[in-house]
Structure 1
Amino acid sequence: MIEESGNKRKTMAEKRQLFIEMRAQNFDVIRLSTYRTACKLRFVQKRCNLHLVDIWNMIEAFRDNGLNTLDHTTEISVSRLETVISSVYYQLNKRLPSTHQISVEQSISLLLNFMIAAYDSEGRGKLTVFSVKAMLATMCGGKMLDKLRYVFSQMSDSNGLMIFSKFDQFLKEVLKLPTAVFEGPSFGYTEHSVRTCFPQQKKIMLNMFLDTMMADPPPQCLVWLPLMHRLAHVENVFHPVECSYCRCESMMGFRYRCQQCHNYQLCQNCFWRGHASGPHSNQHQMKEHSSWKSPAKKLSHAISKSLGCVPTREPPHPVFPEQPEKPLDLANIVPPRPLANMNDTLVSHASASSGVPTPTKRLQYSQDIPSHSADEHALIASYVARLQHCARVLDSPSRLDEEHRLIARYAARLAAEAGNTRPPTDLSFNSDANKQQRQLIAELENKNREILQEIQRLRLEHEQASQPTPEKAQQNPTLLAELRLLRQRKDELEQRMSALQESRRELMVQLEGLMKLLKAQATGSPHTSPTHGGSRPMPMPVHSTSAGSTPTHCPQDPLSGVGGDLQEAFAQGTRRNLRNDLLVAADSITNTMSSLVKELHSAEEGAEEEEEKKQDGKDRG
């Protein structure tokens, strides 16, 4: 029980979330009901992310979910309504960049709960198709003209005349939106709402309907609708003017200028809340500005107007033909598919009663062409144009094959229909020509297949040639020659190292003989000269540690200890000439050992460099 009550509270909180957020915006302080209603509905539109979906994308969603084939009075369940809304938002996320993705689940929940609160207050769990279309077409983004054209197509007959009963039903559905945001007393539905829009019961065509809905002022019950669109257009308009009440240095949105007080201007927040200061009063007439013009532009405009150079004002909307355009029926030829961009091409409905307003790029039959053959050719041309403008026609090979099959099937149908009215001679001539064309196409396809195979073969050969195997690298004569030179250089270095080691041994043997001779002489004369008795022993400058660092040094070398014998000999004070000879010999040995060590190090470094070059050559090979 506790869990069920918790879930119920959570569900109720989700249903009331949008209304709680709307109350937090404090729109109720706006004194004018028209602006108050428009601001609330604009907030709902932006909070549900409907301002990112235009009327063409909404029509696409209706068609994808099969609403165009249902009668307006058909009721759909909440689950199917959720499917429709989900398709709208998932398609929207596909069109938006990755940095501007919306929360689909949150948007679905907010919009679904708002529609249920507005159109299913009794809790029946069902809504009519016309209610869904009217609400979504009104609350989505896009131009008001396109919305009204679509709404009129849902309320008109096959002759392009508005059906008043359907328009009355439209008012009932669309005026539930102000009631849902607690503005029912100002803009609720009444039985006289239709007469306030069209006082005279006469034939209403599309242009008259647009003139009435987009007039200034519009019908009183729908005055909030054009204001909501104007709010969307001026949200980011900047006015470098100071507000006369709040003293804000600039304004965003609407700007209101008093027609009686000199240079008295208010921002939209101050005007909507009825703020006034100084001699200004709320009873003064105010002019609404949705853009900013510099004084220079105002002066140039006034001069042009006085000179009659200002062009005539364009009509609020283009004039459309009185007769409705016949929609292209491809139900038996092409299955319905969603289009990538509904702003460029509008999907035509299958039935005339559910037709859609057709922009300039819409596929259509031309009723002015008397010839049936011309109609067929126009159909083919329009279908080819649709294939060219559709962004997702060639997204996969299977779809491409399907399109070709459809074109081939329809071309065969045209050939069969045209063959019924042609004489036998023409038929035989055309059949021969078609046979020759098919043969030519078959030959070209075979040639194309052969060319593709040849290209594939050449590509494989090129890849194999650019990636040699290790066996080929070993058979490369250049690499073999480099390897041979490296080995020869290595042998030469090893021979040189052996020769240096041999010379070192010979020098050490000579040094040992000299030391023995020195010891023998020192034993024969035990009394040393007084001039040399106090002399300090001279160190031997033999780099024994450096010599021992070479690879040829052994710790058991019999020549070790030579330096100590020399020091002992010099300490005993031998003859000067013999000492000088020994010093010269020691210096010679030292120099020889130093050069030997350098040679050995340079030989090792050279061998390492040659090995690295050899390895780099193998890697490149």
Structure 2
Amino acid sequence: MHKREENFDQKKLDLEVWLQRMESRLAGMAPVGHTADVLEVQLREQKGLHAELHQFKPRIEEFQQLTQRLVTAHQHEDTSRYKKAAEYINQLYQRLDACIINRGKLLHSALSSLHNLDRSLDKFLAWLSEAESALETLEGEGDARRATVHLKELQIDIERQAVAHQSLRQSSLALVGSLAPEDALMLQLRGDEMERRWQALRTKTSDLRNRLEHNADYWNALLLSLRELTEWVIRKDTELGLASRQDDHRAFRQQLEDKRPLVEASLRSARQFVSGDPSGELARNLRRELVKLSDKWNALVDKSDELATRFEQNSLKLSQLTSILEETCGAVGRLERATLTWSGPRSAAEARELLAGLRALEQQLPPLQRRLEEARAQAAQLDAAQALPPQHAAKLEDCQGRARALQAAIRERRQVLTTTTHGEISPGPSSVQPPWERAVTPNKVPYYINHSMETTHWDHPQMLELAGGLLQLNEVRFSAYRTALKLRAIQKKLGLDMVTINMASEAFDLHGLRAQNDKILDVADMVLVLRAIYGNVAAADSTVDVPLCVDLALNWLLNVYDSQRTGQIRVLSFKVGLTILSKAHLEEKYRYLFRLIADPDQKADQRKLGLLLHDVLQIPKQLGEVAAFGGSNIEPSVRSCLGDRENLEATHFLAWLKQEPQSLVWLPVLHRIAAGETARHQAKCNSCKQFPIVGLRYRCLKCFNFDMCQACFFSGKLTKGHKLSHPMHEYCAATTSVEDVRDFTKALKNKFKSKRYFVKHPRVGYLPVRSVLEGDELESPVASPQHNDMHSRLEIYATRLAEVELRAASPEEEEEQHRLIAEYCQSLEGGGGGRGHQAVPPSPGQLMMVIDEEQRAELQEMIDELEAENRALLREYEQLQRGAQQMPPTPSQQQQQIGPVQPHREQHDVLAEARLLRQHKGRLEARMQILEDHNRQLEAQLQRLRQLLDEPPVSAATTATLQTRSVTASQLNQDTPAPPPPPNARTNQPPAPPTTDRR
């Protein structure tokens, strides 16, 4: 008996667990789907569950029988427990079965409804197609009465289908929200198509009814309405042009929206009338007014939309400007409060601490300047759109004034602290070694004393060594490469090849030099900026000798932009010098240089461009190479860059520079040389047999398999079969197979081209600029043998005037220079006693006194010789002309009226000789003009020397630091370099090298 009860309990537990598991499976089923595929899957799942439940039914019945046996066996006992258990299991089973059956009904109902919706939608769309066809037939019906009857029948049919349309629309919208994205999109598209066609059918029906029911009076009234609406649109277009505020435009937009239904209804009616292509005067007028009103209405709406967009943009910009102004004024206020706590330093040590704190304060200025520039740009745009409120403009002006005053206060504070810590701004004596000593003039310009030789020099000892090394590069034949090699050596020596533009820009901003290009920088300020720049470099590379780099960079900047050693240069010159030799991509340098001269609208005028080019050309001028690049006159380059434009934009400036203009061709060459320094090419030089070629590689495009290394190419070496006139490719990196095949193809093509082709189609490697002489361009003069040496010496003398500080003087000249240095030092000290060996060297302008008057006389003698030669040639030419005119008629002239014949041999020779004389005369006149320009420059500089000797010392602030020299490109168009200069002079170098393609 006990065993039966245990069996009952166990079976009850098993059934209960299984039924609960089945309930969980039923509850876990997904909600009823909305697509046929999902519903069919759910139906299969429901049927499977129902079948599994029915398969378990015998166990339920077996449990009921067991319960009945236990109840019968215990008739005299309480058997309610067994009855309740059996009833509970039976209820669970029945409830689960009912739920599964109910889910099946729901799934079948949903699937049936879905099929019904698809069938109803297809049926309605088919009816729409039939109704549209019927309407098209009615539109072409000629009998108006019959068309009216059929139209009424069609309208009745449309009204009957309105209920079905509404039901389908609601069902579609309700179903879209519960479908998957792809199914919802398809159903949405079908519903939208149905709605569009339904509305079009109703509209066309209504228009056709109006057309059939109304007579010509209706269409005349429509024509009048169209004309009135057109006039209204024209008036509103005028009012829209006067709307200057957003509130005015909102009111105007409301008027448009109020008028829109009438305009669209009128246009729709007119289109319905003309759609049947009627004839007559009324139809033509309606068609004309329809097009006119439609165009003007659409234009007015588009104009209003554009104005609304512009108002929204201006509103956004105004909110941004407000935010920037609040932030900037708050930052200025905090800095102003910080300045109120300043007090005077009591000692040099305290001054150094205060100076460190001031630097931390200065670091907040660059972000402030950037925000102010951003605010100025926003205000300029709003002002151009007449959307800048007066209070915002006043607040911006006030903030700018406070920022300028704050910068001035910080600058004065730094000067006070620097003066207190005298000597701390100097890089210190660690940049030179005994027997050298570094000293400064009263205007803080450094100079260097050699105690063993008892001499003084403006240049640092290592700068003197560098200058000696640069003289060896004069053997390079081509001026662009020679200049680039010199600048690369200077760049490495000064450590500027490790200075990025971002480093330099941050240092400029840190010291308040942003947008201060016309400001004058003294040596102390330059040293502070250079120390900040090289300090950042040293943080990344501990091997950098900051004092030495600062001294050398300052030395080079003064040599380039302050040859008279006034101790002051312009901020623009300072930035340009450091940018040119900095580490950056070429286009990045170009963009930064343009930003230096651009106004808030990112444009530059002729004056600013001229200042920039002038400062850039001072770099090759300091090397004595400026003559090869069109001379120091920047006007031709400015004209070439600007063209017919008044203002220059960045895109035009970059496009001009990418053509490598003659005045700046050395800068991209510098970058190519730097890029190819470590390149290794798997090729052998056909001249020196070097393998592999290291550096730049030059491949001839006329000689097969001919390569040259950069050393042989720069020196202009020639080998059998190869000439300088051959086109070549320049490679900064190893070549690819595609380039090899392409070069071979070009070489093959060039093999079949004659020498005359290359003469007629010369390829220059830079963009030529028009010379300073106006009129026709001059041919390159071919120097005669008897004048080659004279021209070279003339260039040498002209260069010595600008570069005399680098000359290596003889012992007697050194003694004379030392005496002048001592006298200049005494004059700077106010006539007081000298300081022994610490004499201050004179400026190069004063050192020009040592140029002998004999040199000037020699120049004048050369010019006189050329003038005499020109006069003799002119006389000879006039004699030949007179002889040709007095010559008796030739037989060919006598037969001229009969027919053309070949000219006489003698007459042809005379004409050819006269033509050659005219060409020779032109070349001589050009050369004479060149020499006269040199002579005028020499006289002007000598006159300046006399004035410097007669004038008392002037303040550094009023002394000019920039000089120019006008030359013509024709005098520099030589293919070979000038002879090497004497030991105490440097020579102007020949022009740019032969044309090469760069890769």
TM-score band by shorter chain is 0.3 to 0.5
Decide which structure has the larger Cα Rg and report it: 1
TM normalised by structure 1 equals 0.45
Higher fraction of helix: 2
TM normalised by structure 2 equals 0.28
